[in-house]
Structures are given as C-alpha cells and as structure tokens.
Chain A
Amino acid sequence: MTLIHCMMHDWWWIGITVALDVAVAAGYILIAWHWQINQRLLPRGSAPRRALGNMRNIFVLCGICGYLFIPIKMVWPAWRLYDMVLLVLVWMTWRYAWGARDLKVVYSEIGRAKKLEADLDESRAESKRKTFFLNAISHDLRTPLNGLMLQTQVAEMALDSSDQAAVREALRIVASNAQAAGRLLDSLLEVGRLDLSAEPDRLEPLDLAEVLDSVRQRFRLDAEQKGIALDVAARSAGQIVSDRTKVERVISNLVQNAIKFTERGGVTLGASQGNEGVTIWVEDTGPGIPREHHDSLFQEFYQVANPARDRAKGFGLGLAIADRLARHLGGRIELDSVVGRGTRFTVHLPDQPTRYQHDAREVAVVDTGAHH
C-alpha cells in the first residue's frame, strides 16, 4: 500500500510535505554543487579533494534517499530502487568516514595559515617598531654629533681669524653636545641592561613614605625652579619588600616626567597599601595625554609632543624604563589622564616580587650559559 492511500483525506498536508521535501532536497543539491565547484580548486588526488567529492556524493544521495523518495514512495512503492540508492549511500558515507583521518592535515593547515597570518602581522608591527627605534637613535645621536662637528669647524676658522670669543662659544657648544650624546648613550645602556637583567635585585624591606620623601628631596629644586609645587600626600604608605634603587628609579622617572610637562599647579606623590601590595601614584596638573597616545606611551623613544625630537625634552626613554622596571619587580604602571586637567600614573607593586624567584633562576641559567 502506498502512503498516499493513508493520506487521501488530507490533501493540504500532502502539499505542504511535498513542498518541504523538495525545498530540503534543493538545499542538499546546492550544497553538493558548492563542494563540486570547490573540490576542483584542490590538487588532484589530494585528501581534501577526495573528501569534498565524497561529501558532494553523500549529500546528493541523502537528498535523493531522504527527500525525493518520500513523494515518490507516496505514489509508487519503489522499495527496491530505494535500497539500491541506499546501498550506494552507505558505501559513500563509509568511504568518507574512513578518509576523514587524512583531513586532520587539512584542519591543521587551516589553523596554521591563520597563525602564520597573525605572526606576519606581528612581525610587521615589530619591524615597524624597530625602524622607528633605529631612526630615533640615529637622529638623537647624529644631531648633537652634527652640531659638534660643525662647531669644531667654526672653532678652526675662528682661530685663523683670532676671534677668541667665537672659539670659546664654539667649544662650549661642543662640550654641551658631547654631554647630550653621552646622556643618550647612558639611557640606551640602561634600557639594554634591563633587557639583559644584568643587575641582580637587592631585596630589602622598604618604607614607602621614606622612599617618596627621598624622591621628593631629589626633585624639590627642579620644581621650585619651575615655580610649581611638589608634595607628598599620603604618609602612612605601608611597607613592601623590593629593590630600593629600582623602585626609586620608577618613581623618579614618573616625577621627572610630570615636572617636565607641568607649567602651573604642581605634582603630588602618594601611596597606599592594598590587598595585594601597594599602589604609588604620581599626579600632575599638566596638559594631559590624549587617549590615542596611551598605548604607545611606554614604548622607547615615543614622545607625544616632540616631533622634532628636541633633546631638551629628553629622548622618550624615561617612561619606557619605568615601565620595564615596574614589570621586572612584578608590578605594572597604569595611566589615567584628562586633557587640560592633568595626568595620574599609578604604580602597582606586590608586597614581595613573587616573580623574583623565577627571574633569578632564569638569570642564573643565562649566566651559566654565557660562561661556557
């Protein structure tokens, strides 16, 4: 008996069933067509090409078995024909399942391509950063050397015309340029030393109030000369175990930076004990740092408002050094700034540099390696 005899009295539903079956079958055929086109792009005889070919066949047969045969069976009990097609479908399905082991390669290739793409982007960014770094070093070293070179020629010429005053002035500039080049080398060496972790940490208990006071003492005159205030706000600041020189260096670099860019108002230091360590903050009433610079600010040689790299404004290494030191000590620096209002740098430092043990071991390994 055919199905249609049972459904005789429900023509509406027969119509809907047939329409849905045909729609699904059409979808199967579209998918199969898509694989048919794409498998041609793959190398002949390769696992993915075989897999796509198999999937195309499976989908065509599934479409025929599952959907086209339903309306056919309604009017014509074609079981034997149906079983023939089903047999081929079994063969195709198992062939695909068996070959699927080879597809592992395809999936890992797809993953690898994505990863390579990401690596390439990263290395492009890295190479851009290196070019910027090299150009900045080149410019910052060549500029004082250029002035130095030309001023020696001025001195020679002035000597010939016995112009004492000109000789003296030229020599003064030569000395000042040599010092500028020396300062850049010092800063570069400091960045390099941080990279190599050459200096071992000297851990000791630190009273932060005392550290802040000592930093304030060091910069008191600089602030006075600019006519701005330099205050320590929180005195019950807490204690940590860390490397005093490095902690002071981090705070000093932030304070120096704040004083450099603040023309009115002042700079305030403070610290407070938290659950997982201490936070030290350096707040200024300077011009503020626009949002788009926040991410790059800690990069070496990055300077917000110094396109000509005027060396009176420094080299752009201070914040980079502070950031690296803070991370070396197991902490981090955060930045909060409102343009026109001021900037607040917050240093988070752990009670004890937990990463220190790990770092020390790494350094020891590197050291042994170097001696052999």
Chain B
Amino acid sequence: MSIRVLIIEDDESTHTALRYLFRQRGAEVTIATTLAEARDALRTGMPDAIVLDLMLPDGNGVDILRDLRVAGSDVKVVVTTGMADPERMQSLVSLHPHAILRKPIDFAGLLRTIL
C-alpha cells in the first residue's frame, strides 16, 4: 500500500497511533496538529486521503474541507469527530466528506473507508 495520508488531529495519543498504524501498512504519513499546519502541508502536495478532526486549536476542521471543495479537489476526506451527532452539523454534511466516523474509531474500519 503506497498511499500518502495527511492526518489533521491535535490529540497526541490519536495521531501518534494513527501514524504508527498507517506506517506499518506502508503508507506515507504527514501529521498536522493545527489548521495552519494542515494548510502548509496541503500546499506542498495533495495527499491521497485526509483524516480530519474537527475541533482544532486554531479553528474548525470544516474550514479545510471547504477550502478543498472550493478549490475543486475531490480528495478522500474522512472526518473523525468527538461530537455527539455530527450528522446534524449542516455545514459539514453539505461538503460531502467521504465518511464521518464518530470517535472512538477502529483502525480497520478507517482503513476500509480510505482504500
């Protein structure tokens, strides 16, 4: 599996685990813990898939998704969130993320939605 994954997530225990698990499967992983870092990472190159958390220290992850859709990108974005019911967040659903996974997520399940 040679894909590039961008993980946008501020919780350390989560992004270190995801990095380990993706790398074990041979994926190339970039971590961004803020919106600013994520924008920088996206400028250097478009990944094959993005794992996106919503509550970030400098804003809401939905903004990244919106920027991507506005720029015409249809990159696979999997939203992972701790919100009680993300399906009711209209601004999120209308941007058509590839999947919305409610935390706690299962890595095998996440992998299936990306591949």
Contact = CB atoms under 8 A, between A and B. Distances in A.
Contacts of B90: none
Nearest to B107: A153
Contact of A138 (B21, B57, B59, B82): B82
Given A139-B55, A142-B103, A153-B107, A147 B11 contact: yes
A148 interface: yes
A297 interface: no
Interface residues of A, number: 32
A145 B104 contact: yes
B56 to A, nearest CB: 5
Nearest to B24: A157
A143 B53 CA distance: 10
A145 B103 contact: yes
A154 interface: yes
B114 to A, nearest CB: 15
Contacts of B20: 154, 157-158, 166
Contacts of A176: 13
B115 interface: no
B105 A308 contact: no
B16 interface: yes
Contacts of A286: none
Contact of A308 (B17, B21, B55): B55
A157 B105 contact: no
A310 B82 contact: no
Contact of A142 (B18, B21, B59, B104): B104
B17 A150 contact: yes
A173 B80 CA distance: 20
Interface string B71-97: 000000000111110000000000000
Interface in A130-166: 131, 134-135, 137-151, 153-154, 157-158, 161, 166
A237 interface: no
B66 interface: no
Nearest to A161: B24
A177 interface: yes
Top-5 shortest CB links A-B: A147-B13, A150-B17, A139-B82, A142-B82, A146-B103
22 contacts: A137-B84, A139-B55, A139-B83, A142-B103, A143-B11, A144-B13, A146-B11, A146-B103, A146-B105, A147-B11, A149-B106, A150-B104, A151-B17, A154-B21, A161-B24, A170-B17, A173-B17, A177-B13, A307-B57, A308-B56, A308-B57, A309-B55
Interface of A: 131, 134-135, 137-151, 153-154, 157-158, 161, 166, 170, 173, 176-177, 307-310
Interface of B: 10-14, 16-18, 20-21, 24, 55-59, 80-84, 102-107
